[in-house]
Copies of this chain bind each other. A is one copy, B any other.
Amino acid sequence: MDEDDSRAHVVPGSDEELDGADVRGYDFRGSFDFDAMLDSYATTGFQATQLAEAIDIAERMQANDATIYLTITSNIVSSGLREVVAYLIREGYVDVLITTSGSLTEDVIKTEKPFKMGEWDADESELREQGINRLGNIFVPSDRYVWLEEYLYEFFEDFFAEEKVRTPTAFARELGETLDDEDSVLKQAADNDVPVYCPALTDAEVGNFLYYYRQGYDSDVGIEILDDYDSLIEEALLSDTTGLIAVGGGVPKHHAIMTNLFRGGADYVVYISTGIEGDGSLSGAPPNEAVSWGKIKDAENNYTQVEAEATLVFPLLVASAFKN
């Protein structure tokens, strides 16, 4: 290989015209403008551009009157995003909420007693001795669960009074109705007729306390999950247009895309996730995998994913797309 060859490799010399926007970040000159900064994310590249796409898609969901599904993992309610989710429901932006069981119990606790900022690297033995439960950098003293147990016991009595076998959506709705906190996700969902789907209802303190309840009071009560799944499918079948915002993965994310399969896929989709594609997990699967299954529609610019921890970006998405 002579030098000219090597040069040809190094500098091929094309100057293809490209129609993409110029990469350019926010101009911090002059007075700061939050909206302009978020607009600049579109041309900042990497995940900033993904976030700008997510905002655009979320806006189009609304412009096209989509039925909006919000799916959240339980830790979203552990964090301060609980209040943000409650806001979205209160303002009528969300039509269907899908989550896991921890969301329910933690939302109830927070109506009475706050969670506390803590430390990631706290000593686990000390915490255990002090009765402090750690959730990332959040601390939840155990007295919260003592209070919750009592609260739920009373609720269980009412909830199972007329019917012995109930559904998770009924559980969430009737529990929400007992709450008195405008920042409660469950209360807002109940007040605004937003169904809260939670198939694995046992997988948190609800399950634990129902165990005691069945041991001590009434062994016949039950939670049945097929009814809810039918409703969720029908929600999809009856919607002209659907939009899906999945904050985190797991069962909630899959529940939303799977039931959208019945209508040929969700129309607009935003994923916010720390999951990785390379483990073949559902949580890490990017939107285009769901397109192959027909769970998301194969249209133009109708889906995107922001690879980020949600507390960092979800408030930005809400501030930009769900606030006027």
Contact = CB atoms under 8 A, between A and B. Distances in A.
Interface of A: 1, 3, 5-7, 9-16, 18, 20-29, 32, 34, 37, 40-51, 73-75, 78-84, 87, 100, 102, 114-118, 120-122, 124-125, 127-128, 130-139, 141-143, 145-146, 149, 165, 199-204, 207-208, 210-212, 214-215, 221-230, 233, 237, 248, 250-251, 254-255, 258, 261-265, 274, 276-285, 288-289, 291-294, 298, 306-313, 315, 318-319, 323
A312 to B, nearest CB: 5
A10 B312 contact: no
Contact of A44 (B5, B24, B279, B311): B311
A136 B277 contact: yes
A271 B27 CA distance: 23
B51 A312 contact: yes
A45 B138 contact: yes
Nearest to A88: B28
Contacts of A122: 292
A79 B292 contact: no
B210 A226 contact: yes
Contacts of A125: 291, 298
Nearest to A3: B215
Contact of A237 (B6, B13, B138): B6
Given A75-B46, A251-B203, A280-B135, A262 B10 contact: yes
Contacts of A201: 199, 225
- A-B CB proximity, top 4 nearest: A14-B131, A25-B80, A136-B280, A15-B143
Contacts of A118: 18, 20
Nearest to A19: B116
